[in-house]
Structure 1
Amino acid sequence: MVNLKQIYTVAGIVIGILLLVLVGFTSWYTVDESEQAVILTFGKAEDTVTEPGLKFKFPWPIQTVDKLSKETYSLQFGYKEKGGKVVSENQNDTKMITGDENIVLADLVVQWKITDPVKYLYNSEAPQEILYDATSASLRSIIGSSKIDDALTSGRADIEGNVREILSDLVTKYDIGITVLAVKLQDVELPNDEVRAAFTNVTDARETMNTKINEAQKYRNQKMNEGEGEVAAIISRAQGDKAARVEAARGSVSVFNRLYEQYKSSPDVTRERLTIETIEQVLPNAQIYIMNDDGETLKYLPIAPLERKENNANESQSSGTKQEGSEKNNE
């Protein structure tokens, strides 16, 4: 019959084996390259392990390990996507009022990752819900201070940057071990077809207005360039005319100075010559008679008739010479 000592011995051996198995299986763990681990000693977070490989620790229940991923997570705000397709939308979350009192539907995606596993695990009960609510508050704050045109067209990048800045501040303030990497607006649209059609008409009218303004500015610039060219040409011609007049005036001064020198040496002769030259300029075909002071006509040498006779004689002689030359050539 088995006695009590044997029972205790067998039980001790079994318990020892179980303890050895427990120690053997709970004294080590592995960390992948995409993981990070938090070591708990009697339930208190002690260390964070980020280097991959085989690690050792005290057996359970002295130390335990919680593993988290290093990957980048995506928070889909206002919609849910599965297999690359949107499977559901929540308009209660995405419906917002802009700063100019228009209603838009805005959804976005937030890229985030866990940067402090201890705070992520133990500073809050539901860090992802906190992140979702902070995203909603940030987006509504920015949309509520923006105009509808900015939200639908050119202001999307500014809205994304402002939402990321506010969201990062909130996450830092909540201290939940999360870092926001990027914020991307997915869709910003109007709530129904009638509003979309009206906004499209307004947008088309604005584009037409901008086109007309650009054409008017182009025409204005063209005319201003032409006017500036004409002004430059007029100034250039005026400067040329000025230079010509200055040179002509200098020439006249030089002529006057020479005449004045001659006048000082023989004033009577110079005076008479200037008088005759002036009469010739004013009356180029007039016959000039030189009179005495008593009014009687002086006899003068008829130079002009003599010059005409001499010219006629020279012309006759020249034509006769040509006739003789031609007769000799004929012979």
Structure 2
Amino acid sequence: MSAKQLMQGTGFLFGAVILGIIIFTSWYTVDESDQAVILTFGKVDETHQESGLHFKLPWPIQSVEKVSKETFSLQFGYKQKDGEVESFPSETKMITGDEYIVLADMVVQWKITDPESYLFQAEDPDKILYDATSASLRSIIGSSLIDDALTSGKAEIEQEVYSLLSELIDEYGIGISVITVKLQDVELPSAEVRKAFTDVTDARETMNTKINEAQKYQNKRKNEAEGEKDAIISKAQGEKTARIQAARGDVAVFNELYEQYRLNPEITQERLVLETLEQVLPNAELYIMDDNQNTMSYLPIRPIEKQAPKENQSGGEGQ
């Protein structure tokens, strides 16, 4: 084989290699779960999130970096694999605001929302996220009370950790967005400490129960006293109204008597005497006497008064 033929063969082989590189590096596919970043001479040119077959300039002009669009889970303080959980107490041990030691682990749901920043802003964005999660959780637990961390305050702690962690991640600019945070376990570090805390918690619950019962009894007695007070006030107002009405009636009677007395003083005076005697001595018998103070045949006024209605009734029936 001559040198010319050798050069031709080499040129043909080199051309075939170049053609193969162009063909095999000018097309790329993007899965539904991925997003692609196009690099032109190592600099980010564009990002494709649509799945399917795409064209680019051949290597080494352009290259492709792919990152996932799926949601990732960061397990802080533990690792779960094949149904087994491995804990890391040294990472989850922290101090509460009232100086109790607790073990707290957490899971963080996150996504890559800026592929360019995720790929090139930091060398290890996953490690930054882990460290930021640790710092956020320790900061919030460190300002929380032990009761809140172990019982009803977990939701508020999660919300505060989410806010602080999101703020840190945005500040670092590593292309990650935090979706949710969830406390997995918050517990005391030893059985003795847990028992002591349980005893304290039980005593506090008993105290709160007694306080609630006392307040309930206090409210009951207060309501009863309020009811008695209202009843007394209502009764007094009723007596007040009755006395006012009675006084008004007495005034009206007095005015009427005075008018009769002014017109016929003697008759009115005798009438008043008789009415007074009738009130003072309701069962007394009355006798009629003459002007010489001699007793006449007495006239039983009461029996006549009792019989009068019957006679009138019989007379009315006869009529």
State the TM-score, normalizing by the size of structure 1.
Answer: 0.86
In structure 2, do the counterparts of structure 1 residues 165 and 297 end up closer, same or farther at CA, with 3 Å as the change threshold?
A: same
Structure 2 equivalent of residue 329 of structure 1: none
Q: Does structure 2 conserve the Cα–Cα contact (< 8 Å) formed by 1:290 and 1:298?
A: no
Q: What is aligned with 2:72?
A: 73
Match among 212, 220, 228 for residue 214 of structure 1? 212
Structure 1: distance between partners of 2:222 and 2:297: 68
Question: Which segments of 5 or more consecutive residues in structure 2 lack a partner in the other structure?
Answer: 308-319
Match of 1:188 in 2: 186
Partner letter of residue 242 of structure 2?
A: A
Question: How many residue pairs are counted as aligned between the two chains?
Answer: 307
| Alignment match, 2:255 | 257
Cross-structure match for 1:145: 143
SS for the counterpart of 1:105 is: strand
Alpha-carbon distance in 2 for matches of 1:258, 1:141: 92
* C-alpha contact (below 8 Å) 1:290/1:297 kept by paired residues: no
- Greater C-alpha Rg: 1
Please state if 1:97 is matched with 2:92: no
The residue aligned with 1:246 is 244
Aligned residue type for 1:8 = M
| Code of the aligned partner of 2:65 | D
- 1:247-305 per-position Cα deviation (integer Å, ceiling 9, x unaligned): 2222222211211111010112211221232233223455778999xxx9622434346
For 2:80, the aligned partner's letter is E
**Matched residue SS, 1:40:** strand
Provide the C-alpha distance between the structure 1 equivalents of 2:237 and 2:284, rounded to a whole number of angstroms. Answer: 41
Is the contact made by 1:30 and 1:55 (CA closer than 8 Å) also made in structure 2?
yes
- Residue 236 of structure 1 corresponds to 234
Identical residues among aligned pairs (%): 63
Cα deviation for residue 185 of structure 1 reads: 0.5
Aligned to 1:115: 113
Of 155, 162, 184 in structure 1, the residue corresponding to residue 153 of structure 2 is 155
Indicate whether 1:58 and 2:57 are aligned. Answer: yes
* C-alpha deviation, 1:215, in angstroms: 1.7
Residues 1-331 of structure 1 aligned to structure 2 (within 5 Å): 2-86=1-85, 88-285=86-283, 298-304=293-299
- Computed over aligned residues only, the root mean square deviation of the Cα atoms, in angstroms, reads 2.5
TM-score (norm 2): 0.89
Structure 1 residue 22: deviation in Å? 1.2
Give 1:199 shift.
Answer: 0.5
Distance 1:303 1:71, change over 3 A: same
**Residue type of the alignment partner of 1:209:** M
Counterpart CA distance in 1 for 2:56 and 2:17 is 18
Q: CA deviation at 1:12?
A: 1.2
> Which of 279-288 and 264-273 deviates more?
279-288
The C-alpha deviation readout for 1:66-94, integer Å capped at 9, x for no partner, is 100001111111111113431x2111110
